Amino acid sequence: MINEVTIRPAEREDLPEITALAPAIWRDAYKDILSPEQISYMLDMMYSPQKLLKDLTAGVRFFLVCRQEKAVGFFAVFELTDDRSCLKLDKLYLASAFHGLGIGSMILEYITSRASDAGYSRIKLNVNKDNKRAIAAYSKNGFKKKESVKIDIGSGFFMDDYVMEKKLI
């Protein structure tokens, strides 16, 4: 199955596909971690067509993960403005039917290879402290916990995350 998976840059016209993919993936990934209210709030905050377009315009690069031309996941990266040697992995989501098949590791290898080729020395990401599956996958692929953060995202909701980092050099 992994050899049937491709990664391609997402363009402006692909953003509605990301908006459509996010709810099912998020509700499945976070159903035991976040309240339904927080999931809905965060989906509206981060995946509206307007927000994705604003991110794309600001330099966030989106990618679609496809199997037989059908998008089954997505990720996004951007350069940190305060540390140009670091690439931020901002999103990485894959439909649950594709978990456990090595696709996540393939995506992380893709990101690592491109980041290294572009001269970045590190990749950082935030992951919910209770997302054990994602933490295990990131750890398996060379990411280390660097710090713990609690971010107020409004309306009484917080992101309670680990910041993880992978050194490339």
For residue range 38-65, list pLDDT tens digits in order.
Answer: 999 999 999 999 999 999 999 999 999 9
pLDDT of residue 50: 95
Per-residue pLDDT at 1: 65
Query: What pLDDT does 3 receive?
Result: 80
Sorted by where each starts, the structural domains of the chain and their CATH numbers stand as 2-167 (3.40.630.30)
Mean pLDDT across 128-141: 97
pLDDT, residue 80, reads 84
Q: How confident is the model at residue 148 (pLDDT cuts 50, 70, 90)?
A: very high
Q: What is the mean pLDDT of residues 125-137?
A: 97
Residue pair 107/122 in contact by the 8 Å Cβ criterion: no
The pLDDT tens digits of the residues spanning 102-130 come to 999 999 999 999 999 999 999 999 999 99
SS (H, E, C) 23-66: HHHHHHHHCCCCCHHHHHHHHHHHHCHHHHHHHHHCCCEEEEEE
CA–CA separation, 66 and 83 (whole Å): 31
Is it the case that residue 168 has pLDDT exceeding 90?
Answer: yes
Residue 102 backbone class (left: φ over 0; alpha: ψ -120 to 50; beta: rest): left
Give tens-digit pLDDT for 17-26.
999 999 999 9
Mean pLDDT on 25-32:
96
**Stated pTM of the model:** 0.94
Q: Are 33 and 130 in contact (CB under 8 A)?
A: yes
